[in-house]
Structure 1
Amino acid sequence: MLIPNLTILVFFIVMNTSDMTVVKETVGGSITLPIPIIQDGVLSLNNSAIAVVLDSVSRIVDKDFREQLQWNKDSGQFTITGLQRKNSGIYKLEDTNTKKSTLYHLTVYDPAPMPGVKVSAVSSESCSLVCFVEKVDETVLYWYKGEKILNQTSTVPSLPLIVDKKALNSSYSCVAANPANNTNTLSLNFTALCSENNLIIITSDDSRTGYWWLCFVVLAVIIALFVMMIIIKRKRDRTPQGIISMTSRDSTKREEPVYTEVNVKRTNRQKRNSPELSELSPPVSNLTTVYDTVSLRHMNKTDAV
């Protein structure tokens, strides 16, 4: 009795495994399960229900999928968006009316890293280059010449290539890919790279990095010049020469006094009661001339007597 049951169990496992569809996707991507659930059915992940459809009305029962899982009422298909690594697993789509189920083995991979290239050796006849990535896990490296694959590896973080200098004018590129066929490509100009004694490292960010470094240098120079101008100006303002020059400029702004002749006019009464000016005045030789600043003032009619 035990042997037939064991045979049936093994046969059931094999049959279900052969019906499983393998799906590979990249973080941030989306998948649509092609088998529809029109009226009644269940979608589960690792034997745990995440959504149900009853009388053509869907309900998401797993709160982790409320923002990711969508059901199209017209087509009956489930779509998972914004995939993350944690969404990997075995999905089971079961139609409760027909009793048919479909399995999907989903694996979500990180995006392929951007590769870099370094020139390891240059001779008169050939040029040796190495394509590399910082993250090795689940990454495949390729060397392309045009559309043709020259070399590939998935076991080491770098992939070498030796190019004959007679073929440097061809189009070469280094490609990094993940198992979900998400790729990043670095195209290269071997003629410029493979000059004599030119051992350099090229990455996709080199041009952008150089641009930002140039902007930083220009900005630093402008700030330095501005600071120097402020320091020089302050030093000039603090020197005695600066003070003297400021004093001399202020003195030139003072107005020169204006001199005028004053005539004393006496009335008839003053003439009768006052002695002659000549009698009161001392000899001219004993007089001292004194000058003063005279300010002009407008007189009212009542003042002019």
Structure 2
Amino acid sequence: MSQEHYPKEELDSYRKVQSLAYEAVEAVRKELYPGITEKEAARKIDDYIRKQGGSSFFHFGFAWFGDRTAFRGFKRPLSLNYLTKGEGLLPHFGGKFQPSNRKLEEGMAVILDVAPTFAGRAADVGYAFSYGENPEHDKALLHLEEYRDLILRRVLEERTLSEIYLEVDARIRAAGYVNCHSIYPQGVLGHKVGRLPAYNFPGGRVNGFPFQTFAYLFPQMLKDLIPGVSGHSPLWGANSDFRAEPGLWAVEPHIGKMYEGSLGPKSFGAKWEEILVVTDSTAYWLDDDLPHVRLWKEKKKSKSSLKKEKVPA
């Protein structure tokens, strides 16, 4: 895998793209209403990006409602190592991940996910919330906080990506949740993002991804299959037995849970996704002013205020 280094000015551009992506999903959240479909919500995300001058996409907008946020009934799409290792599944290309005609209802979990590019610079974000009250989903969103600090600390400790993946997976299970990101293509906790080649040419669309995304990722993925050539990959999975190399990593811990609702068993998923910057000497999150980070800060501030109110005079 080629190392990618970015000067401050370039990182500022990626920060702006990431901020715009979150601006888009937050704006679409305000436009949701009972009965809107995932397809309609995803289209609103893409339209917002285009109106703001987005030139293309690393991947187009995704929207998932209800139990689809937990990928319930989904199977991991065909991967490059399918023929050699197999996964006990018939090959498929991830059709279930595409936005569907599922209609939004009160209390449903929602995930909006998009990866726009500006002048080829890509950012990938995931935004989770509930449409109406859903206490179980609220708890999951708060639980996700621990992984942001954990992942950064482990990268700084130069742990391998597989070690970090497995630790995150163990913590998810210990907390009573399931690992939903294991169902993503290649079962990734994260993946590289960067500047897409030929970004100013029409990119087509294959299952929500333009051809430029494959042109960016595949050469690095194919190198990983040649013995003795690389041993690295732009994908962060359970078998990524190497440290994070310099570049931009879109990290996306995604958890799910089944619980007993008023009308029977229900399930949901929750996630966040943002860019982790890795250099030759350090690592850090590209931006700390993001919706999920603000949510956690607000909850802590609220708890602190309540404690002060309870202190006797």
Q: TM-score range by the shorter chain?
A: under 0.3
Which protein has the bigger strand share?
1
TM-score by length of 2: 0.21
If you compute each CA radius of gyration, which structure gives the higher value, 1 or 2? Answer: 1
Q: Relative CO higher for 1 or 2, CA cutoff 8 Å, sep ≥ 6?
A: 2
**More helix as a share of residues:** 2
